[in-house]
Amino acid sequence: MIDFTPYLNDDRLPVMNTDQFNYITEKYGKEKFREELSEYISQARPPFPFKKISKQDMITNFLDLKSFDTSKNIKSKSNIEKTVFEKYDDYKYSFDEYGLGLIEGANTYNTVSNYFMQELRLNCSSYGFRAPVDVWQNGNAKDIWRCFGPIWRGINTNNTLDEKVYMSAFRLGTYIATQFKPVVAKAIYDLTNANKVLDTSCGWGDRLAGFYTSNAKEYIGCDPNPNTFAMYMKQVDEYERILGNNNPIIKEDRNVFTINASKKVTIYRCGAEDLPWDDINDIDCSFTSPPYFSTEEYNKGGEHEEDQSWHKFNEYDKWRDNFFLPVSEQCIKKSKHTLINIMDPKIKGKRYRTGDEICDKYSSKYDNRFKGQIGMRIMQRPKSDKLFKDEQEKKEFMNNIFIENIWYFSNENTDLFKKSTLDEFFA
């Protein structure tokens, strides 16, 4: 048996440098190493290896993002030199035909929201997948073994064992609810010159972070999850303090809270279908990333689970007709600019054509408000080497541009990407 005792950190987690990792791998073999490491985790149950984010890290990144010029991340379609790939190549409103431009953004500023939401996010399950934290804390050795394969291939180029390696393995071996990059949210608010914004699915607080670091002044949002709702209050409190308001007053009234300090924020604890829509008007930019039907099971087993759209509307047609399309329509009616980030969900091997459906419905309604799509650049997961004839072909493939779709509607005729220069646009 492998004795992991010499390699345990203060959290009882085995960590190894390159020499130690290679020694154990060569002495016992990859498979025995993998099996016994999985068995150790299932028996010892060290704390889940969350990414360590200090408060100072969050503050530093907040201030850096606030000063960051998002025009560096924005390209019109005519200035894109590489091939753009969507998840599906048969969208009716494809980027090739309807694309307007591209927004890029590194993960650099994700800590601004992840500092608050990491634990909740990694406790989120997906259709057919347990939450990563659940697998780590409650799974048996076989469950954990299934996640550990990438430790000996692909991701672990330095042949080490640490918190980052464990997380990378779990990222590929389970489903991890993704963050929306705050820098992209800020770019959207900048691009639309927004003052008052609406977010009908606040999610992991990423667009709230983007709002606070943008020039926008008012944010209205909602989410039915009581856990994230409580965390949004902590977010706005900390952000206000960073901005110099040392004693911000947050007014909470059961299922809604407001703050009116350097910025005005109102967040409701409810699903978007239950927002007080009559009170919501004059929105400059409605921007959200709604649930991809039941792809992610937010707050499963928790308080008010029944308010989540994946639970409340548990068949696709119900979800589309009672949540997704009516909420989108309200946003389109009440906003100068509406941007909806969603890709077609795929459940039990069946793809639901959500992108085509929303564009079909509103391509002619409301004075032809559908303007096209904006590509949000994402990292492409490595594909099997068997799909490529050689390393060069694989490298060329990975160097292409891969996007998620942001469907764009507007009651204005302004082409956001048509300005001769972005300096002109932001002037």
Look at 15-19, 37-41, 46-50, 397-401 and tell me which has the smallest mean pLDDT: 397-401
Cα radius of gyration (the chain): 23
pLDDT beyond 90 at 423: no
pLDDT beyond 80 at 206: yes
Provide the percentage of residues in the chain whose pLDDT is more than 70.
89
pTM, rounded to two decimals: 0.89
- What pLDDT sits at residue 349? 84
Confidence of residue 212 (pLDDT cuts 50, 70, 90): very high
- What pLDDT sits at residue 399? 75
Q: Are strands 335-341 and 401-410 parallel, antiparallel or unpaired?
A: antiparallel
pLDDT tens track for 288-346:
998 776 555 555 566 665 655 556 767 888 889 999 999 999 999 999 999 999 988 88
Pairs from 93-99 (Cβ < 8 Å, separation ≥ 24): 93/355, 93/356, 93/359, 93/363, 93/370, 93/372, 93/373, 93/407, 95/373, 95/375, 95/403, 95/405, 98/372, 98/373, 99/372, 99/373, 99/374, 99/375
- What pLDDT sits at residue 175? 78
Closest CA to 109 of 70, 156, 80, 166: 70
Of residues 308 and 271, more confidently modeled: 271
- What pLDDT sits at residue 427? 42
Name the CA dihedral angle for 252, 256, 257, 262, rounded to a multiple of 10 degrees.
Answer: -160
Confidence of residue 92 (pLDDT cuts 50, 70, 90): very high
pLDDT beyond 60 at 173: yes
The C-alpha atoms of residue 203 and residue 225 are separated, in whole angstroms, by: 9
- What b/e readout covers 49-58, taking b as 16+ CB neighbours within 10 angstroms? beeebeeeeb
- What pLDDT sits at residue 422? 43
Q: Which residue type sits at 105?
A: G
β-partners of residue 375 are 102, 405
Closest CA to 359 of 347, 374, 371: 371
Of residues 306 and 359, more confidently modeled: 359
The C-alpha atoms of residue 26 and residue 11 are separated, in whole angstroms, by: 26
- What pLDDT sits at residue 153? 78
- What pLDDT sits at residue 367? 66
Q: Where in the chain is the domain with CATH 3.40.50.150?
A: 55-111+177-426
- What pLDDT sits at residue 366? 59
pLDDT tens track for 393-415:
777 777 789 999 999 999 888 77
Provide the CA 89 distance to its chain's centre, in angstroms: 22
Provide the 10 A C-beta neighbour count for residue 11.
Answer: 11
Confidence of residue 74 (pLDDT cuts 50, 70, 90): very high
- What pLDDT sits at residue 386? 63
Q: Which CATH number fits domain 55-111+177-426: 3.40.50.300, 3.40.30.10, 1.10.540.10, 3.40.50.150?
A: 3.40.50.150
Average the pLDDT over 130-140 and give the result: 92
Pairs from 349-352 (Cβ < 8 Å, separation ≥ 24): 351/88, 352/293, 352/316, 352/320
Q: Are strands 370-378 and 99-103 parallel, antiparallel or unpaired?
A: parallel
Task: Reduce the secondary structure of the chain to three states and give it as a string.
Answer: CCCCHHHECCCCCECECHHHHHHHHHHHCHHHHHHHHHHHHHHHCCCCCCCCCCHHHHHHHHHHHHHCCHHHHEEEHHHCCCCEECCCCCCCCCHHHHEEEEECCCHHHCHHHHHHHHHHHHCCEECCECCHHHHHHHCCHHHHHHHHHHHHCCCCCCCCECHHHHHHHHHHHCCCCCCCCHHHHHHHHHHCCCCEEEECCCCCCHHHHHHHCCCCCEEEEECCCHHHHHHHHHHHHHHHHHCCCCCCCEEECCCEEEEECCCEEEEECCCHHHCCHHHCCCEEEEEECCCCCCCEECCCCCCCHHHCHHHHCCCHHHHHHHHHHHHHHHHHHHEEEEEEECCCCEECCEECCHHHHHHHHHCCHHHHCEEEEEEEEECCCCCCHHHCCCHHHHHHHHCCEEEEEEEEEECCCCCCCCCCCHHHHHC
- What pLDDT sits at residue 392? 78
The C-alpha atoms of residue 345 and residue 340 are separated, in whole angstroms, by: 14
Average the pLDDT over 232-249 and give the result: 95
The C-alpha atoms of residue 254 and residue 239 are separated, in whole angstroms, by: 22
Look at 258-262, 336-340, 362-366, 419-423 and tell me which has the smallest mean pLDDT: 419-423
pLDDT beyond 60 at 375: yes
Closest CA to 116 of 210, 207, 232: 232
Nearest-5° Cα angle at 196, 110 to 59: 30
User: Are the C-beta atoms of residues 355 and 405 closer than 8 Å to each other?
Assistant: yes
